[in-house]
Amino acid sequence: MITILGIESSCDDTAAAVIRDGVLLSNIISSQKVHESYGGVVPELASRAHQQNIIPVVDQALKKAGVNKDELTAIAFTRGPGLMGSLLVGTSFAKGLSSALNIPMIDVNHLHAHVLAHFIKEDKDDNSQPQYPFLCLLVSGGNSQIILVKSYKDMEIIGQTIDDAAGEAFDKCAKVMGLGYPGGPIVDRLAKEGDATKFKFNKPHIPGYDYSFSGLKTSFLYLLRNELKKDTDFIEKNKVDLCASLQKTIIDVLMEQLRKAAKDLRIKEVAVAGGVSANSGLRAAFEDHAKRFGWKIHIPPFGYTTDNAAMIAMTGYFKYEDKDFCPMEAAPFSRVVM
Ligand code: KG4
């Protein structure tokens, strides 16, 4: 029996999960509320909150799983990328617990884990996992990438943003409309009532599979600036249409490159991961592509799209099977290395 405790502390969620023989037993997340009034994550506050939350969160994950500490086989933790102070809390905790229990420690790349979230099983007979090779669109607040996944440890980034991430485009445009933070979910909600054809924004034309969202952001900003000169209530009057048009443009941009990659590489198995995959319009676009192009799509349940420890434990489980352990002197990395 292989029982892995996963720990995630890369940004503003303190999370712990237990996976036994590939099946998820518990998945606990404590989302930090302290950042809301700042309109973004404050790194110093995030590390302090992780420090406060990590013991209770791990405790709860073990209790919910019905697993005792001494039944753990290994501890998997997020080594990066992320905020250094936040990562240090999870890494130090993993070191302490694994040395106290004398069990291996497994370092996990947070971005790999987002992709491997598709392999989390809540029930041992679930066989819906993707087949290799598949494409994964990873879209979050910090990343927009198309990844060619050849195995759990062989992933190639074939396209990525050259400036802003898709989540940032949602958040920054929402901010200029005064919608609150994070803006993505708010835009998603308002877009449902709006007309997506009302406004047109710049779309990039980039060869290959890379993305760019800075032109869209500028064109959104210019439209608001011009219209507000004529009518100071412009945003309020057009909020839902602005959200619907913005969301449609972001999704069109994301799907266009993904479609190109799937066609060129002749891959029909396509997955989506990361915080923005919670977007209802993006989910609908995936369903539509499944119908139109015969894609076999993989959309994770909402709980596995944003930061969580189930995906860390899942990746840890794969690495455990390969006996791919991490030395005690390992330090976190804040920047992307894939
Ligand atoms: O993966 P994630 O939780 O962490 C970061 O990378 O930060 O992604 C967060 C991002 C934010 O930009 C948020 O606005 C966006 O995901 N997001 C959404 C939705 N839910 C979260 N964007 C659009 N529609 C949503 N429903």
The answer to whether the beta carbons of residues 94 and 77 sit under 8 Å apart is yes
Give the position of tokens 């977007």.
279
Separation CA 248–CA 227 (nearest Å): 20
Residue 303: the pLDDT is: 86
Query: String of b and e for 74-91 (b: at least 16 CB within 10 Å)?
Result: bbbbbbbbbbbbbbbbbb
- DSSP state, 307? S
Q: What is the mean pLDDT of each run of 10 residues along the chain (338 residues)?
A: 97 96 97 81 91 97 98 98 96 98 97 96 94 97 94 97 96 94 94 98 93 96 97 97 98 98 98 95 98 97 91 98 96 81
Residue 37: the pLDDT is: 79
Q: Cα of 69 to ligand 1 centre, how many Å?
A: 33
H/E element, 148: strand 144-151
Residue 338: the pLDDT is: 53
Q: Cα of 269 to ligand 1 centre, how many Å?
A: 23
Q: Cα of 296 to ligand 1 centre, how many Å?
A: 24
Query: String of b and e for 29-38 (b: at least 16 CB within 10 Å)?
Result: bbebeebeee
**Closest ligand 1 atom to 189 CA:** 26
- DSSP state, 161? B
CATH superfamily of 3-126+304-321: ATPase, nucleotide binding domain (3.30.420.40)
Which amino acid is present at 2? I
**183-191 and 166-176 helices cross at what angle (nearest 10)?**
80
Q: Is 170 in the pocket of ligand 1 (CB under 6 A)?
A: yes
Backbone angles phi, psi at 204, to 5 degrees: -75, 155
Q: Which CATH architecture has domain 134-266?
A: 2-Layer Sandwich (3.30)
Q: Is 247 in the pocket of ligand 1 (CB under 6 A)?
A: no
User: Is the fold of 3-126+304-321 the same as that of 134-266?
Assistant: yes
Q: Is 144 in the pocket of ligand 1 (CB under 6 A)?
A: no
Domain boundaries, the chain: 3-126+304-321, 134-266
Cβ-Cβ contacts under 8 Å for 13 (sequence gap 6 or more):
29, 30, 31, 32, 306, 307, 308
Q: Cα of 134 to ligand 1 centre, how many Å?
A: 23
Give the position of tokens 């349940």.
301
The answer to whether the beta carbons of residues 118 and 132 sit under 8 Å apart is no
Q: Cα of 275 to ligand 1 centre, how many Å?
A: 4
Cβ-Cβ contacts under 8 Å for 328 (sequence gap 6 or more):
95, 99, 105
And the tokens for 232?
A: 């100071």
Give the position of tokens 């760019």.
212
